[in-house]
């Protein structure tokens, strides 16, 4: 009985790891994730927030004074600008509110440099105004201009420009109305476009919240922000970015995190997570860019996969002798064999070929996919191994066996007979902005560089520096 209980606990952890961050990722209205001295930080409504050493396991501990609601954060130079709303949104019994910003040299509350500056008001709303001063979103564009959006369903979403040196509102800058029918807004910039992301739907009702994240885009930070069919967000337009999942509901408060070119993540909250008592939790998904629009990528799921190189479409496989499958050549259509009965042939099975594979380590190569056992891989999360921003580390083994893909000396690849959980047998899989995948070992023996799985040539895989512009670094993972 104890063994069954332990197994059930491990399976439950694996199920949770496939759906959300792990640890205690409980937060409402998370700010855009910031990296500070090797740790990740996000702040939430009410003050405080979460800290993670790896981007996957989160615990409370982030410190933000002022209380209030719906903060955001951005790094400018060597400082962090944190904004929040003092009231607004009906929190104080009306729609009067204040948007405030403050600086800190570090987000680490244990650092001797940790000290917030006095908050500065950058916007406010009156009791009967058609805008709530709440839900700040911050963006610095490539020209070094700093923008702040705010507002709720009560009225308009507004944008003002701030001074990136002081965090204060630029003198004489007037607020511009940019959207309606949404809240928790933020702007992002990509490839010449300003994108306004807002949270649409009903808030603060747990698993019954209909929150979802939508967007429009403009060539100017002042709009108009039009969606994919030309609707202005000032008229209620907005293209879907993140909707409800099967067990998580109420996606809101978008934040963008760029790890490096081609690798982007979005953060937000689920207002209600069925796997966590319906609580509000931090969520992280890949960002995909499709036809100029951001979309939520998929959380990688355990399963049986073929691993195909984008270089040519060849499959990753064990370097073992090719064994011909049953069937041979059939001369149908060449004047022979038409009178033979049609039968269903079985695919080649693992037990037919695995006994002849060599013992010990077997290297890998790339070749035509033929649905053979030495080309089929099982990818599974290893919950106890931790993770990275947005996902757990996984093991990659030949389907039906425990033979594991591993990084080896000299930035080479091999497979070992048994998966042991060693760091060089653990892999991170990131979905890239074009929908393909990057595959990286947690550690490489004798190498401290972050290298990824690459196609060195049509038949030779290896490990090398990631370059999003090079298809050698990209892989398609397709379930079979």
CB-based contact 130:155 (threshold 8 Å)? yes
Phi first, then psi: give them for residue 124, nearest 5 degrees: -150, 165
For 283, residues 6+ apart whose C-beta sits below 8 A from its C-beta are 20, 21, 248, 251, 267, 268, 269, 270
- Residue-wise pLDDT tens digits, 71-83: 999 999 999 999 9
Which pair of structure tokens corresponds to residue 299?
């959380």
Report the pLDDT averaged over residues 125-151: 93
- Residue-wise pLDDT tens digits, 21-71: 899 999 999 999 999 999 999 999 998 999 999 999 999 999 999 999 999
Nearest C-alpha neighbor of 437 from the set 271, 343, 299, 251: 299
Quote the pLDDT of residue 61. 97
Q: How far is CA 307 from CA 13, 437, 438, 472, in A?
A: 26, 10, 11, 13
Instruction: Classify burial at 410, counting beta carbons within 10 Å of its beta carbon; exposed 0-12, middle 13-18, buried 19 or more.
Output: exposed
- Percent share of the chain, pLDDT over 70: 92
Helix (H) or strand (E) holding 8: helix 2-19
Quote the pLDDT of residue 449. 96
Report the pLDDT averaged over residues 321-328: 84
In this structure, what DSSP letter does residue 232 have? B
Separation between Cα atoms, residue 369 and residue 177, nearest integer Å: 55
- Percent share of the chain, pLDDT over 90: 84
Q: What is the 3-state secondary structure (H, E, C) of 349-379?
A: CHHHHHHHCCCCCECEEEECCCCCHHHCEEE
Walk me through the domains of the chain, giving residue ranges and CATH numbers: 21-296 (2.115.10.20), 303-323+349-479 (2.80.10.50)
Helix (H) or strand (E) holding 5: helix 2-19
- Residue-wise pLDDT tens digits, 358-380: 999 999 999 999 999 999 999 99
- Residue-wise pLDDT tens digits, 264-321: 999 999 999 999 999 999 999 999 999 999 999 988 899 999 999 999 999 999 999 9
Model pTM score: 0.92
CA 417, distance to chain mean position in Å, is 32
């Amino acid at each position: 009985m104890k063994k069954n209980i332990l197994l059930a606990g491990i399976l439950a952890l694996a199920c949770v790891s496939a759906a959300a961050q792990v640890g205690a990722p409980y937060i409402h209205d998370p700010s855009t994730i910031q990296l500070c001295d090797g740790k990740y930080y996000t702040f939430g409504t009410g003050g405080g927030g979460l800290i993670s050493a790896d981007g996957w396991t989160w615990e409370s501990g982030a410190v933000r004074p002022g209380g209030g609601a719906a903060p955001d954060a951005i790094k400018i130079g060597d400082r962090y600008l944190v904004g929040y709303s003092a009231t607004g949104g009906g929190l104080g019994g009306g729609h009067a509110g204040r948007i405030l910003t403050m600086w800190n040299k570090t987000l680490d509350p244990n650092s001797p440099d940790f000290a917030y500056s006095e908050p500065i008001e950058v916007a406010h709303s009156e009791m009967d105004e058609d805008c709530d001063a709440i839900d700040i979103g911050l963006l610095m564009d490539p020209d070094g201009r700093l923008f702040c959006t705010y507002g709720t369903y009560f009225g308009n979403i507004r944008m003002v420009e701030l001074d990136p040196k002081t965090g204060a509102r630029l003198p004489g800058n007037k607020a511009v109305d940019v959207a309606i029918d949404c809240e928790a807004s933020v702007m992002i910039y990509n490839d010449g476009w300003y994108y306004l992301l807002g949270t649409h739907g009903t808030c603060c009702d747990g698993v019954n919240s209909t929150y979802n994240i939508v967007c429009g885009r403009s060539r100017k930070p002042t709009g108009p922000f039009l969606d994919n069919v030309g609707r202005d967000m000032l008229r209620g337009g907005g293209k879907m970015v993140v909707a409800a999942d099967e067990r998580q509901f109420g996606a809101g408060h978008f934040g963008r995190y760029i790890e490096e070119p081609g690798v982007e993540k979005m953060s937000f909250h689920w207002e209600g997570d069925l796997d966590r008592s319906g609580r509000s939790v931090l969520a992280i998904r890949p960002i995909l860019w499709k036809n100029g629009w951001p979309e939520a990528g998929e959380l990688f799921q355990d399963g049986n996969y073929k691993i195909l190189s984008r270089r040519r479409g060849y499959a990753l496989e064990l370097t073992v002798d090719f064994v011909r499958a049953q069937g041979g050549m059939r001369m149908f259509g060449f004047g022979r064999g038409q009178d033979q009965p049609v039968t269903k042939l079985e695919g080649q099975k693992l037990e037919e070929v695995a006994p002849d594979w060599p013992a010990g380590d077997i290297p890998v190569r790339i070749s035509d996919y033929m649905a053979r056992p030495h080309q089929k891989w099982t990818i599974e999360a290893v919950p106890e191994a931790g993770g990275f921003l947005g996902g757990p580390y996984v093991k990659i083994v030949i389907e039906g066996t425990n033979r594991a893909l591993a990084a080896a000396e000299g930035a080479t690849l091999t497979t070992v007979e048994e998966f042991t959980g060693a760091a060089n047998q653990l892999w991170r899989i990131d979905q890239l902005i074009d929908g393909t995948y990057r595959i990286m070992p947690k550690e490489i023996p004798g190498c401290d560089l972050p290298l990824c799985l690459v196609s060195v040539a049509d038949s030779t895989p290896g490990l090398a520096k990631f370059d999003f512009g090079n298809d050698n670094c990209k892989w398609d993972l397709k379930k079979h």
